[in-house]
């Protein structure tokens, strides 16, 4: 067992929407500096898990520890302040706001040195600098995903929850986004990534969890999951 430094520890998490049980006792841990991937088909509960960690949903039971503190049920605005952030599914950017305003929204809770933060985002994504005064609605899908990631960086996070970044993007753009995530991870950002594109995600991840109808059915290192016959069968299309 390697020496671990647990940043996020989710235990027996249960979440329901009315009568729908979206999560039925999920255990997930993320260590400092890792890329951890959540694999699962549509409706498996990936978004629910990420939203609940951030504090947008309230769990029915179970606990979430972040950096040694119990944050179960704590509201998102406090969690963002404390270094959690999300890149929402579907590249949620505000189409009728400029690229700059979208980025500034990410720094909502701490505008201190926001122009330095923007400059750093522009170093990651030079294309956004060229588009800075444009409405976000005029960006391409790949650019919007970059904007969503850039906005997450604006909050100076420790851990970034990334919800299906590759959905609806051309393979070459997906590779681009994946590469950015790897580089962000090398810079020290911890990443919890949900993906249906299991192969590409596992290739860059340290560890992974397979989610099926609200339960973790399999977990292990990325290599183990890539070799697992059940995973190969269901998610790698091999």
Partner 1 sequence: MPLPMYYFLAVTAIYILLSWSIYLPYRVMHLHFMSVANMTISGYLGAYAALSWGWPFMLVLVVGIVVGAFVGWITSFAIGDAPTFAVVIVGFTYIYISKTVVENTDALGGTLGLFNIPSIHSDPSTSKLLLLIIVYLFVILMGFLIHRFENSRLGRAASAIFVDHQLAKSFGINVKRTGMFLQTWSSAMGGASGVLYAYLMRNLFPDFFTFHLIGIAMTMLFVGGYATMWGGLLAAPLLWGGPLLFPPEIASWRIVIYGTILVVMLVLKPEGLITRPLVYRIESYFRRRRDRRIPS
Q: Which residues bind ligand ATP (CB under 6 A)?
A: 17, 20, 22, 40, 42-48, 89, 196
Q: Least Å distance between CB 87 and ligand ATP?
A: 13
Edge-to-edge strand ranges of the sheet holding 20-31: 20-31, 6-17, 61-66, 69-70
Q: Given the complex with partner 1, which of 45 and 208 has the nearer CB atom?
A: 45
Phi, psi of 17 (to 5 degrees): -105, 100
Q: What is the DSSP string of 93-122?
A: --TTSBHHHHHHHHTTT--TTHHHHHHHHH
185 touching Mg ion, by CB under 5 A: no
Q: Given the complex with Mg ion, which of 3 and 42 has the nearer CB atom?
A: 42
Give the per-residue contact string, 107-126, with partner 1 (x = CB under 8 A; - = no).
Answer: xxx-x---------------
Segment interacting with partner 1, rule: CB under 8 A, options 3-11, 26-34, 60-68, 86-94: 86-94
* Spatial separation of the C-alpha atoms in residues 89 and 78, rounded to whole Å: 21
Phi, psi of 38 (to 5 degrees): -105, 120
Phi, psi of 218 (to 5 degrees): -160, 145
Segment interacting with partner 1, rule: CB under 8 A, options 3-11, 74-82, 186-194, 215-223: 74-82
Decide which of partner 1, Mg ion, ligand ATP, none touches 20; Cβ closer than 5 to 8 Å per partner kind.
ligand ATP
Q: Given the complex with ligand ATP, which of 51 and 131 has the nearer CB atom?
A: 51
Query: Could you tell me the two tokens for 143?
Result: 């650019």
Decide which of Mg ion, partner 1, ligand ATP, none touches 54; Cβ closer than 5 to 8 Å per partner kind.
partner 1
Nearest to 80 by CA among 182, 5, 151: 151
Per the CB < 8 A criterion, the answer to whether 211 and 49 are in contact is: yes
Residue 203 forms beta bridges with which residues? none
Residues 41-70 that bind Mg ion (CB under 5 A): 46-47
Q: What is the binding site for Mg ion (CB under 5 A)?
A: 46-47, 89
């Amino acid at each position: 067992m390697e020496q671990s430094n647990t940043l996020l520890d989710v235990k027996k998490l249960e979440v329901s929407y009315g009568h729908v049980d979206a999560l039925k006792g999920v255990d997930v841990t993320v260590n400092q500096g890792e890329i951890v991937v959540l694999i699962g088909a549509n409706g498996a509960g990936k978004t629910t898990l990420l939203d609940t960690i951030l504090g947008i949903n309230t769990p029915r039971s179970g606990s979430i520890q972040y950096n040694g503190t119990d944050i179960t049920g704590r509201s998102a605005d406090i969690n963002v302040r404390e270094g959690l952030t999300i890149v929402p599914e579907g590249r949620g950017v505000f189409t009728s706001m400029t690229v700059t305003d979208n980025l500034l929204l990410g720094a909502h809770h701490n505008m201190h040195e926001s122009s330095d933060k923007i400059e750093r985002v522009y170093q990651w994504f030079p294309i956004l600098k060229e588009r800075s005064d444009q409405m976000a609605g005029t960006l391409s899908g790949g650019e919007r995903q970059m904007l969503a990631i850039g906005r997450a960086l604006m909050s100076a996070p420790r851990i970034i929850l990334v919800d299906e970044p590759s959905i609806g993007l051309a393979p070459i753009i997906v590779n681009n986004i994946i590469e950015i995530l790897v580089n962000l991870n090398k810079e020290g950002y911890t990443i919890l990534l949900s993906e249906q594109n299991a192969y590409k995600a596992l290739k860059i991840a340290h560890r992974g969890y397979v989610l099926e109808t609200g339960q973790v059915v399999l977990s292990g290192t990325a290599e183990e999951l890539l070799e697992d016959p059940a995973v190969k069968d269901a998610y790698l299309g091999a």
